Structure 1
Amino acid sequence: MGAARTTTYTTGRWPGPSTPAQRRALMKLVPLSITFGLIAALGIMPVIVTVGFLGKASAEEVLELPEDMVLPPAPKSSTLYASDGVTELATFGDQYRVELEYEDLPDVFVEALLATEDARFWEHNGIDATGVLRAAVSNYSAGGVSQGASTITMQYVRQVLAYNALTPEELDQATEDTPARKIREMAYAMAVEDAMEKEEILLNYVNTVYFGNGAYGLGAAAQLYIGKDPQELDLNEAALLAGLVQSPSEYDPINGSSEAAKNRRDHVVNRMVSAGVITRAQAQQVIDEDLSLNPQPRPAVGGGAADSSNWGFFTDYFEKWWSQQEAFGASPEERLARLNRGGYEIVSTLDADLQARAQTAIEDQLAVDSPYALGSVVVEPGTGRIEVMAVNRVYSTNTTNNGPNTSVDGELGSYPNTTNPLLTSGPGLPGYQAGSTFKLYTMIAALERDMPLSTNYNSPNQYRSQYPISGDPNCGGMWCPSNANESMAGNHDMRSGFGGSVNTYFVQLVEAVGADRAVEVAERMGISWRTAEDLGHAANAQGWGTFTLGVTSNHPLEVANSYSVLPADGVLCDPLPVDVVKTNDRDIEFESDCEQVIDAEVARAATDASRCTTGYGADSGDCGSATASYIAPMVGGPVAGKTGTSDNFSTGWFAGFTPNHAIATFIADPDSPQNNVGSSRTPLPAQASAEILKAAWESNPTGSFAPPPAALR
């Protein structure tokens, strides 16, 4: 970079100093001219302001900016990748750009641009004193501002400061028509010229300047207006594009006045004649021609999933997570602005291969046009890394052809297209009743009180509890739950009670340990309350016996992460969607905040009972029957978990884990909770989970479950 190149139109680019040393030598002659030039150029402003400023600061001081006054890089879109660092999930940014290298800049465009915008670019040090004086005389004569004196370097400074503005106040500061802004801009320009080669400044300007219609930089503009790569531009096309940078809207050849655009193009070629870079005959040939246009559609830019069916819900969660990270700004708005303009390369935690297999497993069980949502989340135990977010929906705002809401006449449902965060919580979406998956927290509360897995209760088909209740099912005002079927009645310990999901066993267990202790365990393991009803019950948890059967509203990410505590030997980690954020100067690695929330031996005992559900079998004793005994043979490795069904089959769940992955899968009607999924659909979460965990185990068939301690067997 830096060597002068010839052009087919002239003997070379602009004459002037050819080496950095020569340029800097010339710069030393400029300060006095700058001082008088500033005073004259700002004649329409209060002269005393400029004189006062320059009387206190020498030109050398203007050049030596404070260390914290650093020109930020020009904005670029950020890209979100899967955990492989290759699969692109989404881009974030509002600007269409095609980055060019210096050798990609066509001579004909550079000649046109400099002839029109900055004829002494190769000579000045960021401020063109001659241009300032000329503009000052013109402005004084006109009684206002009729000419500007901004160099390419000053324009570059202004556009970068404006593009990187994160608030309206910062944007005003970058663009306000005041002496302070002009002086700051000039100081920046001098500092930029002192720190960068001319070729680098020119390249940065050409890559960032706005050409209109959403195109930033020559690479994007050449494609958008001409349908060509920049290197293919001819004189007519180069002059048209060079003319746009002064006022893209006024000279817009596509949506504005073609006459104005042609007049501006003709002005450019006439300036090129004056500069001596083309002949009058070459200029006249262009003037006699029509505009050379071949408009192309602008590629989509902005936040969104590259493949909305597979990645959209994860991308949405990531964006919300980013907005909460204080490292990226003082407010959510500032953080998202940085995401859109920071040019970050973000390696997420999403496993692209496992996500694809999970999406297939989900849709094999339930099509995307079903009113029922079937969705799954997978996290990594001990790290909180989110590896899968799959649901039988398409992440899209276009709901025109959606099916009807099953409970509200005349309203469309959220299928197949939606942006509702079905796998995480959101406004109006606190979650879905998780049913018997919550028996885990009662079992852990009992284990923490030194009640072993062998704790036995005679469990009748229906049991009259100690908890008052006004609704059904009650016996004389007391809660009287029943088992799913009469065959479950009999003696059970924790293994058979958990594996067979015996309601009346767990009601007796929660009475023994206290419902408040079961609620406290759930909170320790990451479960939270979102509805007023749940918050009210949690505040008076001692009488909340129904809690053990999963009556609260929760979402799959929360439940999956909670179950990940068991294979992590009692460690809970915050959910994490990002591994690394790569910036221009460093890589920022992210790790989740983790905490030991239950004792490792308690976690191992709870895992042992959870093995009974899947048919994997407990290490410590007989399991009895199992609600999903087919899962272990399908997975082909160690697997544990719990099925869950809420009252009247309104929802269905499976939450479980292998040594390396934790999963939660649900089925419900998000639009109409009263639209029960039915007994035929409640097994679908377990079936989908089995397929997903099978794929996960095949990708990493390592690890095992540690046996429970003797004291808790």
Structure 2
Amino acid sequence: MGRAARLGGLLVLVGALVGLSAIPVGAVLRSGAQWSRRQRADLPAQLLEPPAAQLTRVYANDGRTLITTFYDEDRHDVTLGQIAPVMQQAIVAAEDTRFFEHGGVDLKGVARALASDARSGHAGQGASTITMQLVRNVLKEDPAERAAATADTPGRKLREIEYAVELEHRLTKQQILQNYLNIVYFGDGAYGVEAAARRIFGVTPARLDLAQAALIAGIVQSPDADNPVSGDKTAAEVRQGYVLDAMLKAGTITRAQHDRAAAEKLTYSGATQPNGCVDASGQADAWGFFCDYFERWWDGQAQFGATKAAREDALRRGGYNVVTTLDPDVQKVAAKQSRRVYGLGNKKTLPIAVVQPGTGQVLALAVNRVYGTAEKTGAGEKDGTGKKSTVNPLVSGGSGINGYPSGSTFKMFTMLAALEAGMPLSTDYDAPAKLVTEWPDNGPGNCDGRYCPGNDNPAWMDGHRTMWDAFGRSVNTYFVHLEEQVGPAAVVAMARRLGISFSSPSDAELAASPDSWGSFTLGVVDTTPLELASAYATVAADGIYCAPLPVAEIDGRKVTASCRQVLDPRIARAATDAARCPVGQQSAYGKCDGGTAEQVAGMFGGLDVAGKTGSTEDNRTETFVGFTPTMAAAGIANDPVDPSDGVGRGVESRVVTAVARTLRAAVGNATYAGFTPPSAAQAYGG
């Protein structure tokens, strides 16, 4: 029977049931032909390829370890070949026994349903074939179609009929069945058979046995009431019996199979899919902070939508498979080392970030906190005032978190600016205990209205210094003098080139007019461990800055960082040579003479390593950033709630050790080539 004839027959049937029999049959058939032509043109495209919301899965860098999922609806489409045959047979027996025989509409069922509707005065749900149900479920996904798709009217039923008949001519029965099994709701937040199998029995749909399949198929009629996990377990098992009986009657199973399935004792998993960063795996190792950074990165990517709201919608409905850069082993070490310095309940924190030079890939973002909203105080801490849980991005910054001053680590930017200005590493200066500068200062401790910083340990720091030993011993007056020579504007610009964002409004204001910013080289600017690790990774990568990147692949497509050459490689190599002094190694020219983190060298054996410590005024923060040719890591000990509450000098060595051990874990057991020595011109000029 052709489409026009079939639709005409349906119209005759409908007319008879609703009092339209006075219309001549020929007119009805002509109407059916016109209807058929209209539907071929007007069939909504989404009925052919249902755009149902899909959950996005986010994995660690191995592509297998699940970090979390994001979804509005827990649904993941599968092919018919990934669904057990007994599941396919069960859903047909439960919902549409004549599915493989009719053309989208079961005329006998429609006649019964419409007669009932005419008597009751409203449209019911009976006689809906799998194809008609597919039409309704797909249209419900479209906000513009939702009202019409759920309207309790004969018109809604007629539209389902016309679309179902046309759909049967566009798709195969197998395509229709596959689409139906992927879109139908099974209760307890499970959309589609993949989510139902996973949530109810903890298996994939391919592994469902007959008893499990019959129970899942029976849920569709009343998904929330009959779901055995969130609803009535007894009702679910009654429906399972109905489906098994229907399958037996249809001849798809034998009596023996029926009886074995009916007697099978089922165990319900009830396992829900994690949703968002609060539900992220690795709670013990604070994976949620990395997850949060990933989500904020996603929100900034224009390819996922024109607005932040559109990008969030894409993340929760787009069905992406994302492989991130998170290394669970490195993250574990970073979290362990942070919590060795400060426990979970301590109000002070040690956020640690690990970045790969040359790629920008972020391997770890750890801190002594649990990522979450529940506040727990006092556990194991003497003062009992600390939070265990937070969703503040303490490692990466953002959402109003600007970071923390990192002290003398900013001397790196002054050294780079000086090298770029043509000053060699051998540039010498007789550094005094206190230096009266050219810059005006009306704050406390000024010298006749001039900025005059001093050395923290004059006996060890004062005297004739070069960049090598001044960087190793962290001599304030040497680097402030060097900043005078090149100008604060050049140093600020260097920091910007290496990724320092100046996200604090007060820092941004000073950076806009930096000519008198004499204290800049002493690290008074708020930054984050992630920014700092990325800046030093630039030096490690011969001057190539890569924006920090938390993603390696999306749906199998490689994602690469935005990288650019911001330093002459010769400048970067010279700075690296001086940066070996603080960690207890020797420069290529044998000019290191003392360092503030000399224990680091022993942790790396014969492998090259470099870095810098940083202490702020009154030891409010203590920082260490270290790098090798292959990895960079940074950590800043601080009080994130009360910056005036200093961490104290005593924690410096522990911070250095924690970050260095994290860096060593990130490097791994493989050997790597050492740093490239600077040229003689960079070392001595000429």
Global fold match (TM > 0.5): yes
Q: Structure 2: how far apart are the matches of 1:277 and 1:206?
A: 19
CA deviations over 1:24-49 (Å, ceiling 9, x no partner):
xxxx63443135537976999x999x
Q: In the alignment, which residue of structure 2 is the partner of 1:379?
A: 355
Counterpart residue type for residue 354 of structure 1: V
Describe the shift of the 1:577–1:278 C-alpha distance in structure 2 as closer, same or farther (beyond 3 A): closer
Whether 1:456 and 2:428 are equivalent positions in the alignment is yes
Q: In the alignment, which residue of structure 1 is the partner of 2:312?
A: 336
Choose the corresponding residue for 1:514, options 462, 487, 491.
487
1:623 shift after superposition:
2.1
1:627 shift after superposition:
1.1
Single out whichever of 321-330 and 500-509 deviates more from structure 2. Answer: 321-330
Q: In the alignment, which residue of structure 2 is the partner of 1:396?
A: 372
Counterpart residue type for residue 479 of structure 1: Y
| Counterpart mapping for 1:617-696 below 5 A | 617-636=586-605, 637-696=607-666
CA deviations over 1:260-285 (Å, ceiling 9, x no partner):
87997898799889979999xx99x9
1:75 shift after superposition:
4.6
Q: Structure 1: how far apart are the matches of 2:167 and 2:342?
A: 59
CA deviations over 1:592-637 (Å, ceiling 9, x no partner):
1111112222111211211211122222451222111221221121
Counterpart residue type for residue 688 of structure 1: A
1:345 shift after superposition:
2.8
Q: In the alignment, which residue of structure 2 is the partner of 1:3?
A: none
Q: In the alignment, which residue of structure 1 is the partner of 2:392?
A: 420
Whether 1:322 and 2:298 are equivalent positions in the alignment is yes
SS at match of 2:580: helix
Whether 1:697 and 2:664 are equivalent positions in the alignment is no
| Counterpart mapping for 1:542-553 below 5 A | 542-553=515-526
Describe the shift of the 1:169–1:420 C-alpha distance in structure 2 as closer, same or farther (beyond 3 A): farther
The answer for unaligned runs of 5 or more in structure 2 is none
Counterpart residue type for residue 553 of structure 1: D
Counterpart residue type for residue 550 of structure 1: G
Single out whichever of 659-668 and 700-709 deviates more from structure 2. Answer: 700-709
Whether 1:145 and 2:104 are equivalent positions in the alignment is no
Q: In the alignment, which residue of structure 2 is the partner of 1:246?
A: 221
Describe the shift of the 1:246–1:511 C-alpha distance in structure 2 as closer, same or farther (beyond 3 A): same
Q: In the alignment, which residue of structure 1 is the partner of 2:283?
A: 308
| Counterpart mapping for 1:211-226 below 5 A | 211-217=186-192
Counterpart residue type for residue 677 of structure 1: V
Q: In the alignment, which residue of structure 2 is the partner of 1:78?
A: 56
Choose the corresponding residue for 2:184, options 209, 214, 226.
209
Whether 1:437 and 2:409 are equivalent positions in the alignment is yes
Question: Are the aligned partners of 1:65 and 1:187 in contact in 2 as well (CA < 8 Å)?
Answer: no
Question: Are the aligned partners of 1:104 and 1:231 in contact in 2 as well (CA < 8 Å)?
Answer: no
Counterpart residue type for residue 215 of structure 1: A
Describe the shift of the 1:622–1:115 C-alpha distance in structure 2 as closer, same or farther (beyond 3 A): closer
Describe the shift of the 1:698–1:226 C-alpha distance in structure 2 as closer, same or farther (beyond 3 A): closer
Counterpart residue type for residue 347 of structure 1: V
The answer for unaligned runs of 5 or more in structure 1 is 1-27
Counterpart residue type for residue 589 of structure 1: K
SS at match of 1:478: coil
1:197 shift after superposition:
4.6
Question: Are the aligned partners of 2:355 and 2:534 in contact in 1 as well (CA < 8 Å)?
Answer: yes
Describe the shift of the 1:693–1:220 C-alpha distance in structure 2 as closer, same or farther (beyond 3 A): closer
Single out whichever of 454-463 and 180-189 deviates more from structure 2. Answer: 180-189
Q: Structure 1: how far apart are the matches of 2:601 and 2:180?
A: 61
Choose the corresponding residue for 2:418, options 443, 446, 453.
446
Describe the shift of the 1:62–1:372 C-alpha distance in structure 2 as closer, same or farther (beyond 3 A): same
| Counterpart mapping for 1:541-620 below 5 A | 541-582=514-555, 587-620=556-589
Whether 1:61 and 2:40 are equivalent positions in the alignment is yes
Describe the shift of the 1:218–1:414 C-alpha distance in structure 2 as closer, same or farther (beyond 3 A): same
Describe the shift of the 1:220–1:597 C-alpha distance in structure 2 as closer, same or farther (beyond 3 A): closer
Single out whichever of 556-565 and 72-81 deviates more from structure 2. Answer: 72-81
Counterpart residue type for residue 458 of structure 2: E
SS at match of 1:664: strand
Counterpart residue type for residue 293 of structure 2: Y
Single out whichever of 480-489 and 699-708 deviates more from structure 2. Answer: 699-708
Counterpart residue type for residue 556 of structure 1: P
Q: Structure 1: how far apart are the matches of 2:11 and 2:564?
A: 61
Choose the corresponding residue for 1:126, options 74, 91, 104.
104
1:201 shift after superposition:
3.7
Task: Please give the root-mean-square deviation of Cα atoms over the aligned residues, in Å.
Answer: 4.3
Counterpart residue type for residue 406 of structure 2: A
Q: With the length of structure 2 as denominator, give the TM-score of the two structures.
A: 0.83
SS at match of 1:547: helix
SS at match of 1:522: helix
Q: With the length of structure 1 as denominator, give the TM-score of the two structures.
A: 0.81
SS at match of 2:343: coil
1:533 shift after superposition:
1.2
Single out whichever of 331-340 and 683-692 deviates more from structure 2. Answer: 331-340
Question: Are the aligned partners of 1:93 and 1:301 in contact in 2 as well (CA < 8 Å)?
Answer: no
Q: Structure 2: how far apart are the matches of 1:481 and 1:389?
A: 34
Q: Structure 1: how far apart are the matches of 2:370 and 2:528?
A: 19
Counterpart residue type for residue 326 of structure 1: A
Question: Are the aligned partners of 1:227 and 1:294 in contact in 2 as well (CA < 8 Å)?
Answer: no
Question: Are the aligned partners of 1:386 and 1:576 in contact in 2 as well (CA < 8 Å)?
Answer: yes
Whether 1:87 and 2:65 are equivalent positions in the alignment is yes
Describe the shift of the 1:56–1:558 C-alpha distance in structure 2 as closer, same or farther (beyond 3 A): same
Counterpart residue type for residue 452 of structure 1: P
Single out whichever of 109-118 and 698-707 deviates more from structure 2. Answer: 109-118
Describe the shift of the 1:608–1:200 C-alpha distance in structure 2 as closer, same or farther (beyond 3 A): same
SS at match of 1:71: coil
SS at match of 2:103: coil
Single out whichever of 168-177 and 423-432 deviates more from structure 2. Answer: 168-177
Counterpart residue type for residue 538 of structure 1: A
Q: Structure 2: how far apart are the matches of 1:184 and 1:457?
A: 87
Question: Are the aligned partners of 1:406 and 1:672 in contact in 2 as well (CA < 8 Å)?
Answer: no
Whether 1:537 and 2:510 are equivalent positions in the alignment is yes
The alignment-based identity, stated in percent, is 41
1:209 shift after superposition:
2.3
1:88 shift after superposition:
2.8
SS at match of 2:350: strand
Counterpart residue type for residue 98 of structure 2: R
Q: Structure 2: how far apart are the matches of 1:191 and 1:363?
A: 63
CA deviations over 1:343-364 (Å, ceiling 9, x no partner):
4332211223322333333334
Q: Structure 2: how far apart are the matches of 1:419 and 1:150?
A: 47
Q: Structure 1: how far apart are the matches of 2:566 and 2:30?
A: 67
Q: In the alignment, which residue of structure 2 is the partner of 1:9?
A: none
Q: Structure 1: how far apart are the matches of 2:355 and 2:156?
A: 50
Q: Structure 2: how far apart are the matches of 1:60 and 1:128?
A: 19
1:207 shift after superposition:
5.0
SS at match of 2:186: strand
1:96 shift after superposition:
5.5
Q: Structure 2: how far apart are the matches of 1:393 and 1:696?
A: 21
Question: Are the aligned partners of 1:79 and 1:92 in contact in 2 as well (CA < 8 Å)?
Answer: yes
Q: Structure 1: how far apart are the matches of 2:308 and 2:30?
A: 42
Question: Are the aligned partners of 1:75 and 1:343 in contact in 2 as well (CA < 8 Å)?
Answer: yes
Counterpart residue type for residue 586 of structure 2: G
1:561 shift after superposition:
0.7
Describe the shift of the 1:551–1:244 C-alpha distance in structure 2 as closer, same or farther (beyond 3 A): same
